[in-house]
């Protein structure tokens, strides 16, 4: 006898409490297997596919594409045990500890037919006690049945073989969907110029331009402000932009930061990189060399590879160096993290930087790729600027900023010469150290930039 199980939006980890439905991957009536991805959601950190821990027939979906749901809200229901849809056996879920809520997906009736997995990259192979819940029990009252969107039956059209299939709007890119939502466009009213009617970004941008030229300017109400305010565009602080705003605001609110900077002659560093990038060999990026210098400096000055436990009033010095680096993508600023950067060679760092950068541009970074950093390296020189005062990536204790490398007049070996000069800036949490430690760190970095052999002597 089949029974219906409800699959809720799982714990996304790292403090994430909600997600936006970007694209349903299954329709009502579809047969799904255990751990089959059923919906693509966007969190404040990444775009992820959510696998369903049950196998059976989808009987209902909750929420349209574009709907934002809190963790614990229903996603869909699955009829398990229907004829011809028996799921294949799955590994038993780990034993639940007393610290884990009883209403997690693995504790639903009949959960032994599911896998217990949550997100791609967030399996449940680790002991259950190590799985974090992102909200205490009072938060779950927000997801009461009265506030949950009603089940949405997907529109279906008959296929050639007589099977019902979903008929969603022909949009693949989540960036296109976001652009349309932020500008109040109904994608169902657009005709796509792509293959098989696919709606492209250019289609949405053209519709926005047409809407702007055909819509008369709004007349401000008395006392509503100036005409400039009447024509202002409001951009919601949500998704990546909202997460960045929250994190930077918290950093400035909690961390008493200070900044010091120094100019350095990077001519020898560029020469060393050219020598390392011999024809036919692996290419070493400049960012990788800066990362090697940065991790060596952190080994000498571990105070800066730390965090502050405000509740315990303790400075926590961290044993591993997980190096974040600022990257600009179409989704905004992201900070992917290179794990165990102190144990990697320049070649390994180059490969990992390249992998994470490409994933950021493609929008495929996982929450695990974007969290857990202990120190951040920010190469804002790629934007053509010389210097900056970085805001610390909370809850870290420091950030090293690197400006553009420019030919400038420089006194070299007692004579005026044209050298490649870079400005280095360090913003640090004054609670973890004083200016002497910060200055020592930055001076060591500058010395290694000017004379890369200094790094070899310290290894």
Which of 182, 212, 242 finishes a domain?
Answer: 212
Task: Determine the pLDDT at residue 122.
Answer: 38
Residue 124 banded pLDDT, cuts 50, 70, 90: very low
Residue 222 lies in a domain: no
Residue 387 is part of a domain; what is its CATH number? 3.30.559.10
> What pLDDT score was predicted for residue 90?
41
pLDDT tens column, 62-107: 988 888 888 889 999 999 875 555 544 444 444 444 334 334 334 4
Domain encompassing residue 199: 169-212
Q: What is the pTM of this model?
A: 0.58
- 139 pLDDT above the threshold of 50: no
Instruction: Kindly state the average pLDDT of the residues 337-350.
Output: 95
pLDDT of residue 15: 60
Q: Answer yes or no: is 21 within a domain.
A: yes
Mean pLDDT in the chain?
78
pLDDT at site 278: 80
Claim to verify: residue 47 and residue 185 sit in the same structural domain = no
- The more confidently predicted of residues 81 and 8 is 8
Q: For residues 158 and 206, state if they share a domain.
A: no
Mean pLDDT lowest among 85-94, 204-213, 282-291, 429-438:
85-94
Mean pLDDT of 19-48: 86
Which pLDDT band, with edges at 50, 70 and 90, does 213 fall under? low
- Does any domain span residue 68? yes
Which of the pair, 439 or 119, is modelled with greater confidence?
Answer: 439
Q: Are residues 154 and 286 in the same domain?
A: no
Indicate if 430 belongs to the active site: yes
Residues 83 and 200 in one domain: no
Per-residue pLDDT averaged across 232-253, rounded?
83
Residues 152 and 184 in one domain: no
Instruction: Note the pLDDT of residue 220.
Output: 53
Do residues 345 and 424 share a domain?
yes
Residues 270 and 337 in one domain: yes
Express each pLDDT in 153-190 by its tens digit: 444 433 333 333 344 456 555 567 767 777 888 877 88
Mark whether 75 and 107 lie in a shared domain.
yes
Residue pair 5/109 in contact by the 8 Å Cβ criterion = yes
Q: Is residue 452 a part of any domain in this protein?
A: yes
Chain segment 359-401, per-residue pLDDT in tens: 988 888 888 898 899 999 999 998 899 998 889 999 999 999 9
379 domain-assigned: yes
69 and 193 share a domain?
no
Among 229-233, 350-354, 407-411, name the one with the lowest average pLDDT.
Answer: 229-233
Overall number of domains in the chain: 3
Q: Which of 212, 228, 246 is the last residue of a domain?
A: 212
Domain stops at, among 152, 182, 212: 212
Question: In this structure, are 301 and 417 located in the same domain?
Answer: yes
Instruction: Catalytic residue, from 3, 322, 328, 430: name it.
Output: 430
**CATH number of the domain bearing residue 133:** 2.40.50.100
Distance of alpha carbon 89 from alpha carbon 107, whole angstroms: 17
pLDDT at 301 over 60: yes
pLDDT at residue 192 in the model: 81
Residue of higher predicted confidence among 430 and 223 = 430
Same domain, 451 and 316: yes
241 domain residue, yes or no: no
- Is 224 among the domain residues? no
Inside any domain, residue 245: no
Question: What is the pLDDT averaged over residues 215-227?
Answer: 54
Closest CA to 247 of 16, 9, 12: 16
Give yes or no: residues 102 and 129 share one domain: yes
């Amino acid at each position: 006898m089949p029974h219906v199980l409800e699959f809720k939006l799982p714990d996304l980890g790292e403090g994430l409490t909600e997600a936006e439905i970007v694209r349903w991957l299954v329709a009502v009536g579809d047969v799904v297997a255990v751990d089959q991805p059923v919906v693509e959601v966007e969190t404040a950190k990444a775009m992820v596919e959510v696998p369903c821990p049950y196998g059976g027939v989808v009987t209902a979906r909750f929420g349209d594409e574009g709907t934002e749901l809190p963790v614990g809200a229903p996603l869909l229901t699955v009829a398990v045990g229907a004829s011809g849809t028996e799921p294949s056996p799955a590994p038993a879920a780990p034993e639940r500890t007393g610290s884990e809520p009883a209403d997690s997906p693995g504790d639903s009736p009949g959960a032994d037919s599911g896998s217990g997995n949550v997100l791609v990259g967030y399996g449940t192979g680790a002991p259950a006690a190590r799985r974090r819940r992102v909200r205490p029990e009072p938060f779950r009252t927000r997801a009461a049945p009265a506030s949950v969107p009603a089940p949405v039956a997907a529109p279906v059209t008959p296929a050639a073989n007589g099977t019902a299939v979903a008929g969603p709007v022909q949009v693949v890119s989540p960036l296109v969907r976001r652009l349309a939502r932020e500008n109040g466009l109904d994608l169902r009213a657009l005709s796509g110029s792509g293959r098989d009617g696919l709606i492209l970004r250019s289609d949405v941008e053209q519709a926005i331009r047409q809407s702007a030229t055909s819509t008369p300017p709004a007349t401000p109400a008395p006392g509503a402000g100036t005409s400039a305010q009447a024509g202002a565009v409001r951009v919601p602080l949500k998704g990546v932009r909202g997460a960045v705003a929250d994190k930077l605001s918290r950093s400035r609110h909690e961390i008493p930061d200070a900044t010091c900077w120094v100019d350095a002659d990077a001519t020898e560093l560029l020469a060393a990189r050219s020598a390392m990038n011999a024809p036919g060999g692996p290419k070493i990026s400049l960012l990788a060399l800066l990362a090697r210098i940065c991790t060596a400096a952190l080994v000498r000055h571990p105070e800066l590879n730390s965090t502050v436990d405000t509740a315990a009033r303790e400075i926590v010095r961290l044993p591993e160096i997980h190096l974040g680096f600022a990257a600009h993508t179409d989704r905004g600023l992201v900070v992917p993290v290179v794990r165990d950067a102190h144990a990697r060679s320049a070649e390994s760092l180059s490969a990992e930087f390249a992998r994470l950068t490409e994933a950021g541009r493609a929008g495929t970074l996982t929450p695990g790729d974007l969290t857990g950093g202990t120190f951040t390296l920010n190469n804002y020189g790629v934007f053509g600027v010389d210097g900056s005062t970085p805001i610390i990536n909370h809850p870290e204790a420091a950030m090293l900023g690197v400006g553009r490398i420019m030919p400038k007049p420089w006194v070299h070996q007692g004579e005026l010469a044209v050298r490649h000069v870079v400005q280095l800036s360090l913003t640090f949490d004054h609670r973890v150290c004083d200016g002497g430690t910060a200055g020592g760190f930055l001076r060591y970095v500058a010395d290694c930039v000017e004379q890369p052999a200094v790094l070899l002597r310290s290894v």
